[in-house]
Structures are given as structure tokens and as C-alpha cells.
Structure 1
Amino acid sequence: MSVEANDRVGLTDAYATRVRADLERVDAEIVEVQARLKELAVDRALLSKLWENIFGESGPMSPVTEPGPAKAPQSPLPEEASAPKNGSGAGERRRPGGRRRGPLVRDVVLELLHEATEPVSVRDVHVALQSSPISPPGKVVVRNTLESLVAKGVARRCRDGQSVRYSVEQPQEPQTDS
């Protein structure tokens, strides 16, 4: 065999090895992307359910067909962000047509915290909301609502080992020098 033929065989083997490695790498990336897509589909389903629990309607959940520039999210219910125009119905959500929808989850959760004699868990609040006048939200909505109240300084979070319990933040009395 000539030197030139040996060089071609060696070069062909090198290319074959490189192409095989690239194919294996691409196959592995495809498997990773497919797994990530499954995770995103689960996240999307949870977010859709959360949207439905909060707003009582299916939200802007059209399937994504191709990547494009990100658009700023639009408020689906602009009337909810503003105060009631006639001063009545405070703490109630209104549908776009102006019909009352009932109390907000936040208001009912806050009422439950005020009624509680000791700190309560997310599960306690979730169970109590099953018999409330609102459509029962999921545990994630309850936890997020409680955390929102903590962030606003309305509620307090306390840990008991690995458990987290919530209570109403008591207003602090001003210290007076005696």
C-alpha cells in the first residue's frame, strides 16, 4: 500500500471517529432537551392551573409555535388593578363585565389568620379554605398568598423545626420612657 493510501485511510478513520463522537453528543443533547421540555410542560400545566385558580378563567395560554421576541405580559383583567369606582365592593374582584366575583383569596386567608388562636400551617389554611366562600385554591396559591402577606408585613412566619407556621403580625406598641 502506498503512503498516500495510508494517509487517506488514517484521515478517513479520524473523520469517522469525529463524526461518531459528534452524533453521540448531539443525541445526548436531544435527550436533555426533551427532558427539559417535559419539565416545562409540567410547569406550564401548573401555571395554567394557578392562573385559573386566581382569575377563574383560562389565561393567555396559547401554545408556543416558534421562538420570537419576548412580549411584555398584558394584564388580563385591568379592572382588578384599580379601586372600585363607586366605593362599594372593596376586597372583591370584578369580572370585566362588572359582575362581582367574590372575595379575594388574600382577604379570606387574612381573615383565617385573624381568627386563628395559634400559628397555622399552609395545610391548615388550605383545609380551612375548602369550606370558604371562594373557589378552593391549591396549596401553592395558599403558600404564595401567605408569603405575600409576610412580605407586606401583615403576617409573620415562624419556624418549628422544619415546619413553617404563619400568624397575624401584631402591631408594635410604641415604647415610652418611664
Structure 2
Amino acid sequence: MYESSVETANLKAQYATQFADDLDNSLREQERIAAEITALEGRLSELRRGHALLFGVARPLDSKKSTESTAMQIDVGRAEADAPTSAAHRGSWPESYHAPEPLKINTAPSRKSPTLGDTMVDLLNQCGDPQSVTEITEALMRSRPERKAKKTVIRTTLENLVAKGRVERIKQDRAVFYSPAKASS
């Protein structure tokens, strides 16, 4: 009987030691995670200040854009969505920071020069005869040297024009030629 009470006492001591070690490990882990959270909160605060700074720089740049062209609205974020939820974090916002307004980005293509497709249709109309991709590329480089386009871009554009019905594709054996679409009467 004495032996079993000694074993029980030893077992209780082992459990007590293990329990104390587990509690210590748990406290250390909590302290480590709390330190990580503090560091991440600091980083978040830095990012928010950087965002506010970038927003302040973007606003004057945005006001210089042309208002006569079509513009697309891009939402750069809302302060409400980014706002810290706890009272302890609310003070980390800079006083000058306000919800950013959507930036207006000019998305209208500049129509100073015709599109690549329009240029190719014009070249095909001038040639009259069906032309290969190589011939069209060379003619494009001669007529518009500022336009740097690879054969793959020319071929893709031509195929898009075929799909739109603006150009006709003619296959002869393995060669492919393109000509302007015939006007329907």
C-alpha cells in the first residue's frame, strides 16, 4: 500500500511539473505573439502614413490631367475600410489623412495617329493585291517608321480585322495573304 501511495505522489509531482512547464510555455508564446502584433501594428501605421503621403502627392498630379477625354474611376481605397477597429489604434491616423477620393485616370487612347488596324487597312487598300504578313510589316515600317510592331502583332491584328470583316484572308497552300474586304453593294 505504501508503494502505491509513493507512486501516486510521484505521478502527481510529475503532472504538476508538466502543468507548470506548459503554463510557462504558454505565457512565453503569448508574449512572443503580442510582440509580433505590436511590430505589425507599427508597420501598419507606417503603411497608412505612406498611403496618406502618396495620396497627397497623387492629388496634385491628378488635377493636371486633361478633363476633355473620357476618364475611368479607380478607387484607391477607403479610410473606413482601412480604419483600425480598436480604440487603441485609432490614434495612429495622421491628422491630415482623409478618405481618398477616386483618382481619374485618362484611359481614352490618343487619336493623334490612326490605330494599327486602320493603318493596315489603309495599306491594303493602297496595294490592291493580296499581301503577306511580311509584306504588310515591311510596308508598315516604310510608311510609319515610328510604329515598331512585330510580325506576331501584325498577324494578330490582321486576324482581328478578318473577324470584324474589314479584311479578307486568302490561303494558298501554306501561305496566307490578306486583302481589304470588298465593299458590299
Structure 1 and Structure 2 fold alike (TM over 0.5): no
In our comparison, the structure showing a higher alpha carbon Rg is: 2
Structure possessing the higher relative contact order (Cα contacts under 8 Å, 6 or more residues apart): 2
* Bigger helix share: 2
Q: TM-score, normalised by structure 1?
A: 0.41
Q: TM-score, normalised by structure 2?
A: 0.40
